[in-house]
Amino acid sequence: MKRICILGSTGSIGTQTLDIVREYSDDLKVISLSASGSVDRMEAQIREFEPKMVCMFKEDAADELRKRVADTDTKVLCGMDGLIELCEDDEVDMVVTAVVGMIGIRPTIAAIKAGKDIALANKETLVCAGHIIMPLAEKMGIKILPVDSEHSAIFQSMQGFPKKSVEKILLTASGGPFRGRKREELVDITWREALKHPNWTMGRKITIDSSTLVNKGLEVIEAKWLFGVEPDRIQVVLQPQSIIHSAVQYVDGGIIAQLGTPDMKLPIQYALFYPDRRPMKEERVDLFKLGQIIFEKPDMDTFLGLKLAYRAIDEGGSMPTVLNAANEKAVALFLDDKIHFLDIYDIIEESMNRHEKIEAPTVEQILEAEADCYEFIASKWSS
Ligand code: MG
């Protein structure tokens, strides 16, 4: 029996993780859950999974939830202290970090220090703090199991092969809904169009990030940390059908890839049961129906997300934090109809240009860089 804590249990990855728990209730037990403010959903999850503890990040949501579940045995915590308490709990074996944003960093560090394996779905953890997380995980001897479909595919493609034989990583991307368009065709894009991803059903922020290729840029940074491969050996390949989830090319020229339907359930389940592979009822890839697999080079001059990310990782230090923070704010402004699609790139670039890089930032400095970036964007674009 594996006892798990899910941070971000009401989101897209969180609810799909719970689908797997439901299916494998003899092997997985939910000890704790967390959410930002979705009281209704958390109440339903408490009644179904009967966790020992939950944490609502927002205090008023925690107060409301406490009243609602007073008839249960579940303890309701709140804020960052609450998240950390969930992660340090002796009864937990593995923490699934599916929260969005920098708030994932501190709890993940706490969980690693407490010796828990991590099923990692929070991008910021490695993008901003990879230099802290990876050495710490190694020191503590814990596993960081990627949940993102691409990183899971790379991880799966590395099983049984020595790391030193990796020549390069082939990180696939669908290219998003605007693949093939030129810059002038992106000027009037609305967020409604950007939310129509051709293959994947995901949360709003990550869907916008897919359309700008910022998501792929963040994934390059994550891959560098997860697999210890420098960015010049991580090649992004467009594969519009999202069937090849990524691949690894070895020194002998052999390429090992992982294929599957565009469904997050496999990567989540693989992380939960690693190194086992458990049966899954979902749809299979029908190669005959697929007929052919198409590959394209990404247009880095139109979709600047990737270019900016390579720059951020190249400059290193606190720069990826600024890329991520600026993008987060810019996407929020875009979803709020305050800026145009292409402004997202301008906001990121300007934020990076003005930032004075810190070489190996502490968590404090990462959060300061984020706050400083937010302030700059608020003063310039928010009104
Ligand atoms: Mg991905």
Rounded to two decimals, the pTM is 0.95
* Helix (H) or strand (E) run with residue 255 in it: strand 255-259
pLDDT for the residue 375: 97
Lowest pLDDT segment from 90-104, 194-208, 227-241, 300-314: 194-208
Residues 6+ apart with CB under 8 A from 296: 175, 179, 237, 238, 239, 240
Q: How far apart (Å, rounded) are the C-alpha atoms in residues 157 and 145?
A: 13
CA 39, 44, 50: angle at the middle one, nearest 5?
110
CA 292 centroid distance within chain: 29
pLDDT tens, position by position, 57-82: 999 999 999 999 999 999 999 999 99
Instruction: Give residue-wise pLDDT tens across range 157-185.
Output: 999 999 999 999 999 999 989 999 999 99
**Mean of pLDDT values over 139-164:** 97
Distance 234 CA to ligand 1 centre (A): 15
Sequence ranges of the domains in the chain = 2-146
| Mean pLDDT lowest among 202-206, 246-250, 372-376 | 202-206
Residue pointed to by tokens 């899910």: 6
Centre of ligand 1 from the C-alpha of residue 170, in Å: 13
Rounded to the nearest angstrom, the distance between the alpha carbon of 139 and the centre of ligand 1 is: 27
Distance 47 CA to ligand 1 centre (A): 31
CA of 150 to the centre of ligand 1 (A): 5
Task: Kindly give, in sequence order, each residue whose CB lies less than 8 Å from that of residue 281, ignoring residues fewer than 6 positions away.
Answer: none
What spacing in Å lies between the alpha carbon of 210 and ligand 1's midpoint? 8
Cα-to-centroid distance, 326 and ligand 1 (Å): 19
Give Cα separations from 255 to 259, 319, 327 (angstroms): 13, 32, 33
Distance (Å) from CA 31 to ligand 1 centroid: 27
Query: What separation in Å is there between the alpha carbon of 155 and the centre of ligand 1?
Result: 13
Contact between 77 and 62 under an 8 Å Cβ cutoff? The reply is yes
- The tens digit of pLDDT for each residue in 113-131 reads 999 999 999 989 999 999 9
Among residues 14, 15, 68, which one has the least CA distance to residue 39? 68
Model pLDDT, residue 383: 61
Given this model, what pLDDT does residue 204 score?
Answer: 85
pLDDT at 42: 98
Q: Nearest Cα to 87, choosing from 121, 39, 55, 123?
A: 55
Q: What is the pLDDT of residue 200?
A: 72
pLDDT tens track for 11-29 = 999 999 999 999 999 999 9
Q: What's the CA-to-centroid distance between 308 and ligand 1, angstroms? A: 18
pLDDT exceeds 80 at position 382? no
Look at residue 198 and tell me whether its pLDDT is greater than 90.
no
Mean pLDDT of the chain: 96
% of the chain exceeding 90 in pLDDT: 93
CA of 215 to the centre of ligand 1 (A): 7
Cα–Cα distance, 371 to 247 (Å, whole number): 36
CA of 203 to the centre of ligand 1 (A): 12
What homologous superfamily does CATH list for 2-146? NAD(P)-binding Rossmann-like Domain (3.40.50.720)
Distance 207 CA to ligand 1 centre (A): 10
Interval between CA 62 and ligand 1 midpoint (Å): 31
